Amino acid sequence: GGRVVLADGTIVAFGSLLVAVGRSPRTAGLGLDAAGVAVDQGGFVVTDKRLRTTNPRIWAAGDLTGHPQFTHTAGVHASLAASNAILGVRRAVDLTAVPRVTFTCPEVAAVGVPTDPLPTGLRLVVWPHSLLDRAVTEGDTDGFTRLAIDRKGRVVGATIVGARAGEALAELTLAIRHGLRTRDLAGATHPYPTYGDGVWNAAIDDVRTRLTRPPVRQLVGALVSARRGRLDRPSDRPVREDGAP
């Protein structure tokens, strides 16, 4: 065994250490220079935002382009490059919501901006899996669901640690891709009990917090008072002489 010292000084003991160093493109010897396809210093094929290379008749996709080296990213980019090349459309690469999953135990999944450290101007909502009913039922409560939210209430980043984290991340990937707010997630009916409840509960917690802020709380209080006043007023409907409506 050994010990790993983290950046913050924390010491973690381990029995085995797995180091992933990534992959390098095997573009040397392909004659890309003769085809007018440029590569950078690392050997990655240079493309524009539509995955077109420096040869206007050649497009590229996948790990050799230097984009995030995930199978799902390569698949989406291959479709994008093919439609651009064959159909002449002008779809551009969007890297704002690329999901990242490490299939350890527990799983670690993330999408969007990092949640630790949190970028300036964002706030964090955390739902511990000790409060997640499915995790409690399974007896596996290690982990959390963590959302990074901007000033408008939009989800811009997320990290999930725990069982089935990769599956639970799918909803957040869609939310970030389309600029959804926590109120959008909170207002949608979710199946219960699932590991995805962490996302739902975190969203509900954020909405409740926003409702308790002074301006919103005052507005809600005024609306409730007005509604109660209307309900307490005598009915304006005509009544019969015997008093029945």
The 10s digit of each residue's pLDDT in 25-78 is 999 989 999 999 999 999 999 999 999 999 999 999 999 999 999 999 999 999
| CATH of segment(s) 100-211 | 3.30.390.30
Cite the beta strand spans of the chain per DSSP E. 2-5, 11-14, 100-102, 107-112, 123-128, 144-149, 155-162
Please report which residue ranges of 9-132 form alpha helices under DSSP H.
71-87
Q: Spell out the domain ranges in the chain.
A: 33-95, 100-211
Confidence of residue 217 (pLDDT cuts 50, 70, 90): low
pLDDT score recorded for residue 5: 93
Question: pLDDT class for 21, splitting at 50, 70, 90?
Answer: confident
From first CA to last CA, the distance across the chain in angstroms is: 83
Mean residue pLDDT of the chain comes to 90
139 — pLDDT class (breaks 50, 70, 90): very high
- What integer pLDDT is reported at residue 237 of this predicted model? 59
Quote the percentage of the chain above a pLDDT of 70. 87
Give yes or no for a contact between 93 and 77, defined as CB atoms under 8 angstroms apart: yes
Q: What is the pLDDT of residue 20?
A: 81
Distance CA 64, CA 81 (A): 14
Q: Choose among 143, 145, 170, 177: nearest CA to 158.
A: 145
What is d(CA 156, CA 116) in angstroms, rounded to the nearest whole number?
A: 13
